[in-house]
Amino acid sequence: MIKPVYLDYAATTPMDPRVRQRMLEVMGHQSGFGNPASVTHVFGRTAAAAIEQAAAEVAALVNANPDYVVWTSGATESDNLGVIGGARYRQAQGRHVVTAATEHKAVLGACAELQRHGYEVTYLQPTEMGLIEPAAVSAALRADTVLVSIMHANNETGVVQDIAAIGALCRAAGILFHVDAVQSAGKLPLDMQAQYVDLLTLNAHKACGPKGVGALVLNAATVKRVEPILFGGGQQRGMRPGTLPVHQIVGMGETARLLQLEMAEEVQRILTLRDNLWSGINDLPGILLNGHPEQRIASILTVSVAGVEGESLRFAVDDLAVTSGSACNSATGEPSYVLRALGRPDVLAEASLRFSLGRFTQPDDIQQAITSFRRAVTHLRALSPEEL
Amino acid sequence: MNEAAYNALVAERFDRAPTALGSAVVGRAGSPAQGAAVYFAADVEAGRLHNVGFRAFACPHIIAACSLTAAKLEGARPEQLVDPTLLESLKELEIPVEKTGKILILKDALSACYANFQARQATGALS
């Protein structure tokens, strides 16, 4: 059997050994196992210090105040806390939220929850290139709008939104701006001040860190807190109670440190691999790039294939760990709602593959992907009655 | 898609590209918008089907089903295109029940193929 190639970094990533090592260092009996809230003894203080260092590393990646890093269980919780907690924090000013139809389901689900509690939500439609135009955001703002949530880079297409422009609009109107930056962290520069971001969602496992940890970063200059969505002890100023998982947070801190240290070189390397992949398949007829050709992150290439059936396409490339749309959507078997929003008909949305590359992707992996993809498409086209 | 969702016979049949494709009698059913399109064709010699082949825009299960069916029909009498027992062997493919509708598209293509045989025979186009 051919060794499978992992090209699903947008779903999750293998952990960097350096991150694993840092995590192990705080899992010993004499290191970081203490409860960071137990500052009355050295074990707790050691853990608290490790948390502080991790917060500094995460904050440095996005130009934020480390005191305003709220640790969560991952991006879904961060998105929920940012959208629901942010909107509820501002509910005295109104109950209207603006987001995009192409957001991650963690944001869409949070918006649906707000709607169940009397909020109104405007879902912006993207252009056929996947862009959310700042003018469309501006047109959707109302006197009672309290929060706008637009992701930085889309998890299915990699399309990058102009968050600085959208953020400026929100700032001028006094509206909270939440950004899910899970796919863009470490791939694009993030600066919460320059990009006018008030609430930022991050996680670790999309960037070669551990699963089960994320953060909602607040812009200390513009928002002091959000309403909690979990209740219990008073940890993290009551915004997100619960004992902090020190080893995971330390892992996320190290993940952020490595991203900042290696971003420029890593992005260029991945971009070259992605472009090689695209040039190796795009001469086949009927290969359609999904999303904007330039305004996208280096790590994602999503294509639709005309004239072949989606399930057979995925089966025919079973030596490649790729998905059709997002991993979350692959689980349901439904065609991607993101690709549908871009105007792709169901047949093309179904016959799509997302290749997502990362830190450990090698040139040989890309060559295998090209070979496998070409063989699959050629085989299925030969079988197609449309070719007769 | 989960590889475990398909058994070994599906994988084997899926990978086996059709070689022969007759042209004397043909039948088509379904469309990409319906989730599957199937085309069957064969030659008829001495009252028997030969070069039975297919083309399919379909999931791996249905492609494998077409492949098995085409193999089974090689050398068969044209009436067997609509033999109710013809598709019984597809049980080996363990096709999920939710794909029953796509099996009906395969069945419709075979029926169309037989109807084409009858029409051509009536006009004397077939020996």
Which amino acid, residue A137? V
| CA A344 to mean position of chain CA atoms | 22
Residue B44, strand partner residues: B49
In terms of DSSP H, where are the helices of A282-350? 310-316, 327-332, 337-341, 346-350
Contacts of residue B57 in chain A, CB cutoff 8 Å?
307-309, 383-386
Closest CA to A183 of A77, A274, A103, A128: A103
Q: Where in chain A is the domain with CATH 3.40.640.10?
A: 17-258
**Chain B: nearest CA to A112, how far in angstroms?**
28
Contacts of residue A325 in chain B, CB cutoff 8 Å?
none
- What is d(CA A68, CA A215) in angstroms, rounded to the nearest whole number? 10
Whether A309 and B57 lie within 8 Å, measured CB to CB: yes
B1 has a pLDDT exceeding 50: no
- What is d(CA A353, CA A334) in angstroms, rounded to the nearest whole number? 13
Query: How far lies A136's CA from each of A145, A220, A290, in Å?
Result: 14, 28, 21
Please give the average per-residue pLDDT across B38-67, as a whole number. 95
CB burial of A31-48 (b: ≥16 within 10 Å; e: otherwise) equals: bbebebbeeeeebbebbb
Can you give the pLDDT at residue B81? 97
Q: Would you identify the CATH topology of the domain A17-258?
A: Aspartate Aminotransferase; domain 2 (3.40.640)
Can you give the pLDDT at residue B16? 81
Cα radius of gyration (chain A): 21
Q: Name the phi and psi angles at A161, rounded to 5.
A: -90, 155
Closest CA to A151 of A138, A166, A140, A139: A166
Which amino acid, residue A13? T
Mean pLDDT for chain A overall: 95
A vs B, Cβ pairs < 8 A, gives: 56
Whether B59 and A309 lie within 8 Å, measured CB to CB: yes
Whether B3 and A382 lie within 8 Å, measured CB to CB: no
Contacts of residue B37 in chain A, CB cutoff 8 Å?
385-386
Cα radius of gyration (chain B): 14
A185 has a pLDDT exceeding 60: yes
> Which of the residue ranges A109-123, A256-270, B86-100 would you say has the lowest mean pLDDT?
B86-100
Chain A residue closest to B56 (CA)?
A: A384
Q: Over the stretch A30-86, which tens digit does the pLDDT of each residue have?
A: 777 899 999 999 999 999 999 999 999 999 999 999 999 999 999 999 999 999 999
Domains and CATH numbers, chain B: 3-120 (3.90.1010.10)
B1 close to A (CB below 8 A): yes
Residue with token string 């422009």: A165
A49: left (phi over 0), alpha (psi -120 to 50) or beta: alpha
A113 has a pLDDT exceeding 80: yes
A330 has a pLDDT exceeding 60: no
A114 close to B (CB below 8 A): no
Whether residue B93 contacts residue B11, with contact meaning beta carbons closer than 8 Å, is answered with: no
B77 has a pLDDT exceeding 70: yes
DSSP reduced 3-state for A93: helix
- What is d(CA A210, CA A253) in angstroms, rounded to the nearest whole number? 10
Can you give the pLDDT at residue A162? 98
Chain B residue closest to A333 (CA)?
A: B1
Whether residue B50 contacts residue B44, with contact meaning beta carbons closer than 8 Å, is answered with: yes
Please give the average per-residue pLDDT across A307-311, as a whole number. 93
| Candidate CATH numbers 2.40.340.10, 3.10.20.90, 3.40.50.2000, 3.90.1150.10; the one for domain A5-12+263-387 | 3.90.1150.10
DSSP reduced 3-state for A173: helix
Whether B1 and A314 lie within 8 Å, measured CB to CB: yes
Can you give the pLDDT at residue B127? 63
Q: Is A208 a catalytic residue?
A: no
- What is d(CA A304, CA B104) in angstroms, rounded to the nearest whole number? 27
Can you give the pLDDT at residue A328? 45
Closest CA to A227 of A66, A119, A105: A119
- What is d(CA A277, CA A317) in angstroms, rounded to the nearest whole number? 15
Q: Where in chain A is the domain with CATH 3.90.1150.10?
A: 5-12+263-387
Please give the average per-residue pLDDT across B46-65, as a whole number. 95
A386 has a pLDDT exceeding 90: no
ipTM: 0.92
DSSP states of chain B? --GGGS-HHHHHHHHS-------SEEEEEEEGGGTEEEEEEEEEETTEEEEEEEEEES-HHHHHHHHHHHHHHTT--GGGGG-TTGGGGGGGG---GGGHHHHHHHHHHHHHHHHHHHHHHHTT---
Contacts of residue A324 in chain B, CB cutoff 8 Å?
1
- What is d(CA A321, CA A252) in angstroms, rounded to the nearest whole number? 25
CB contacts under 8 A, B 12-71 vs A, are 14-15, 17-18, 28, 32-33, 35-39, 55-60, 63
B35, B57, B60: residue with CB nearest A384: B57
Can you give the pLDDT at residue B20? 79
Burial class (CB in 10 A: 0-12, 13-18, 19+), A92: exposed
Whether residue A154 contacts residue A184, with contact meaning beta carbons closer than 8 Å, is answered with: no
- What is d(CA A51, CA A55) in angstroms, rounded to the nearest whole number? 6
A189 close to B (CB below 8 A): no
pTM of the model: 0.93
Look up residue B12 and give its two tokens.
Answer: 């084997």
Confidence of residue A370 (pLDDT cuts 50, 70, 90): very high
Residue A113, strand partner residues: none
Half-sphere exposure of A210 (CA within 13 A, CB side): 22
